Amino acid sequence: MYRRSWLEACLERDGFVFNESFTAFSGEDLELSWRLRLMGATFVFVPNTVIHLRRVTPSEYFAHQFDRGKGIALLFLSHRSAHAPLAPQNSLLWDEAGGGRGNKWLNVLRLKAIGPLDVRNFQGVKDFAVFWIGEKCEGAGFVWQIATGWWARSR
């Protein structure tokens, strides 16, 4: 939930609330949160269990993860071009200082290309395998978006 006053401020400053270029990649909410934080908004995290009622096939999940990787790449490129003092989120790519350089890239590559290998957190090997392949699809989507963006800029 967002306060209406923050959404209105975002609309006034940027001309939009949700950045439509992120919608196809399931990243519009993360991008909005990042812009609001840059404007000074404070967020409160309330842990809550999420149950997804919609069942998807593994191929639908893989396609979603590929698109999610593309969205993360778009957010990464937005963050870099904005020279923003705040990271979009604490993650493998960013820290509060706006990281994403040096050894972090090696760690991301290792985890996305090889791991994670924590089978114990899944009900069965099949569930783990779907998740593991999904992680590779997300990484591939990230690389695809970065590469196609670079290719388009270099032409």
Number of Cβ atoms within 10 Å of the Cβ of 69: 26
In sequence order, the 6+-apart residues with CB closer than 8 A to the CB of 115 are 135
Band the pLDDT of 43: cuts 50, 70, 90: confident
pLDDT tens figures, 94-141: 654 444 455 666 777 777 778 778 888 888 999 999 999 999 999 899
60: tokens are: 């639908």
pTM of the predicted structure, to 2 decimals:
0.76
pLDDT tens figures, 55-109: 899 999 999 999 989 988 888 888 888 888 777 766 666 654 444 455 666 777 7
Q: Domain residues for 118? A: 4-154
Residue 83 CA to residue 66 CA, distance in Å, equals 26
